[in-house]
Amino acid sequence: MIGFLRRTFSRRSRIQTGERVEQDGPGGGGGVSGNPLLLPHQQQVIHTPAVVTGGASVHIPAAGTARSAITCRVLLLDGSDVSVDLPSKSKGQDLFDQIMYHIDLIEMDYFGLQFMDSDQVSHWLDVSKLIKKQIQDGPPYRLFFRVKFYSSEPNNLHEEFTRYLFVLQLRQDILSGKLKCPYDTSVELAAFCLQSELGDCDPLEHSPELVSEFRFTPKQSEAMEADIFSRWLELRGQ
């Protein structure tokens, strides 16, 4: 996973939140079913996932004239909180489709929705079963939009928006401490993040104190922030 993040940034993935650029050529919007390079994202979240950036709150009302409805609140990877009203007998697929439509995601097979049980153990929402039969705490039912499968090679991801979501997931896992990262690698990846979000480092405008406004690792120190700043400065023009 660390290698994925490194290779993604080395290809100058400069996508901003909400923006998506389709790759030219055939297969730009293809799925990933049957790809032998896919690896299950094995993880058990025992706490609410960290959020690496803030987001807005959005409400999607129920369609049609259903007499009874349930509300599902989904936290996206960018920190956006999406509240979706659905008929009470809706299945996981109905909620997943609403979220995919809302964020306009094409390569959806890499992603899924998670919820936590009363013991704070995470489970993937089964798209074939009723939502209210799977989640005991609610309504409103609380879920998290997450990467479910990782590709070993970023080139398998045809859309920049998909890569952007992968990067957010990896940053979240590093920040929460679930994904262990060596010091030098943490510094390099943090510098890539700054280069991606802010562009070239300008010593006349930027200072190491700016790095402290971002959180990359659970044990981020002033010394690490100085090293991140130095590495970011070396990335000028990339």
- Which is higher by pLDDT, 101 or 207? 101
Answer yes or no: are the C-beta atoms of 79 and 148 closer than 8 Å: no
Asked if residue 25 has pLDDT above 50, the reply is: no
b/e string for 197-218 if b means 16 or more Cβ within 10 A?
Answer: eeeebeeeebeeebbeebbbbe
CA angle 96, 102, 106 (to 5 degrees): 70
Answer yes or no: are the C-beta atoms of 67 and 124 closer than 8 Å: no
- Which is higher by pLDDT, 3 or 40? 3
Position 6 scores a pLDDT of 47
**CATH code for residues 181-234:** 1.20.80.10
For residue 43 the two structure tokens come to 């993880």
Residue spans per domain, the chain: 32-159, 181-234
For residue 194 the two structure tokens come to 């700054």
- Before 49, cis peptide (omega within 30)? no
Answer yes or no: are the C-beta atoms of 20 and 159 closer than 8 Å: yes
Asked if residue 75 has pLDDT above 60, the reply is: yes
CATH classification (class only), 32-159? alpha beta
Position 93 scores a pLDDT of 96
**What is the tens place of the pLDDT at every residue in 110-162?**
999 999 988 889 999 999 999 999 998 888 999 999 999 988 787 888 898 99
